[in-house]
Amino acid sequence: MNREPKVAVVTMEGTNNEFEAFNSLKYAGAAAEIVHIKKFESGARKVSEYDMIFFPGGFSAGDYIRAGAIMAARIKAKLLNDIESFVEQGNLVMGSCNGFQVLIELGLLPNTQGKWETEAALAVNISNRFEARTIYLRVRKNNCLFLKNFEDGEVIKLPIAHMEGRFVPKSQSILEEIVRRKMNVLTYVDSMGKEADYPWNPNGSVLNIAGLCNDRGNVLGLMPHPERVFFRETESDWTRGENRQGMGFRFFLSAVEAIKEKF
């Protein structure tokens, strides 16, 4: 089938990365649509109408209670079964920053036990500060569909901007499962590509975890913002170095290509 993959960028009061996500998906070849959560709740839109769901960054519902908690609770109340089926069918779900917080709260990640239960939290940064800067990440692509266009072991730079990004697993056994299954696909590293503590790890995440991909490779959550650097000109060092696509480009191109392979 030769059509553009349909992607819903889910928005609500307080999300603020929907336009970057929309543009990234559009320029990567998807038919993106910004959809308010109410449209899913009312049935005006159905999750099954799409090939991919993207949860953008921002401060959904003002980040009151916990970052992402109110958005996740609304989804749990009415849409969680639809989204679980959507994922089980192999469709793609991605969340960056606040979107990652939502995916963790929903239990879509890491979901090591396959029960869709909350197995982790993204707690307040160990610095107790809002951390907003460019960081280094090491990519371990494993089977993650969003990382197809990266080299395994590649070190990349992405922007971060968050207050609650410290990955805390529910138990040591869940952490061991994450590592055993190589779900920790994105790891904070220093400029030499070695794992290091703060400030290289900006939030104090266990094992320097910056992003997780589920067992099947079709759900990715990450604290950094690939959608903010889809174009080279929006990277912090865009006037220096090679002339290439923005680092975020490859995430979205990988996703679009993975969806098209299924057609």
Partner 1 sequence: MAKLRITVTLKGSVEDAEGQSVAKALKLLGYKNVDEVRTGKVYRIKLKGGDLSEGEEFCSKLLSNPVINDCKVEFDED
- Provide the annotated active-site residues: 97, 225, 227
Q: Which is nearer to partner 1, 118 or 149 (CB)?
A: 118
Site for partner 1 contains 118 (CB under 8 A) = yes
Q: Based on the shown chain and the rule CB under 8 A, indicate whether residue 119 belongs to the binding site for partner 1.
A: yes
126 interacts with partner 1 by CB under 8 A: yes
| 69 binds partner 1, rule: CB under 8 A | yes
Options 19, 44, 46, 65; binder of partner 1; rule CB under 8 A:
65
Task: Name the residue nearer to partner 1 (CB basis): 77 or 192.
Answer: 77
Q: Contact between 260 and partner 1 (CB under 8 A)?
A: no
Whose Cβ is closer to partner 1: residue 163's or residue 219's? 163
- For partner 1, the binding residue among 26, 39, 76, 157 (CB under 8 A) is 76
Distance CA 21, CA 8 (A): 10
How far apart (Å, rounded) are the C-alpha atoms in residues 188 and 195?
6
Instruction: Name the segment binding partner 1 (CB under 8 A); options: 14-22, 164-172, 188-196, 238-246.
Output: 164-172
Measure Cα distances from 57 to 6, 54, 103 in Å: 20, 10, 12
In Å, what is the CA distance from 222 to each residue of 11, 43, 154, 219?
17, 28, 16, 10
Q: Which one among 10, 70, 145, 222 touches partner 1, defined by CB under 8 A?
A: 70
Does residue 123 interact with partner 1 by CB under 8 A?
yes
Q: Which residues have C-beta within 8 Å of that of residue 74, sequence separation ≥ 6? A: 12, 37, 41
CB of 77 to partner 1, least distance (A): 8
Contact between 109 and partner 1 by CB under 8 A: the answer reads: no
Q: Does 245 bind partner 1 (CB under 8 A)?
A: no
Confirm or reject binding of residue 80 to partner 1 (CB under 8 A). Answer: no
Q: Which of 134, 98, 86 is nearest to 248 (CA)?
A: 134
- The amino acid occupying position 124 is V
Token reading at 143: 């089977």
Site membership for partner 1, residue 73 (CB under 8 A): yes
Per CB under 8 A, does 128 bind partner 1? yes
Q: Is 207 in the site for partner 1 (CB under 8 A)?
A: no
Task: Evaluate whether 146 touches 28 at the Cβ level (below 8 Å).
Answer: no
In the complex, the residues that contact partner 1 under the rule CB under 8 A are 65-66, 69-70, 73, 76-77, 105, 118-121, 123-128, 168-170, 204
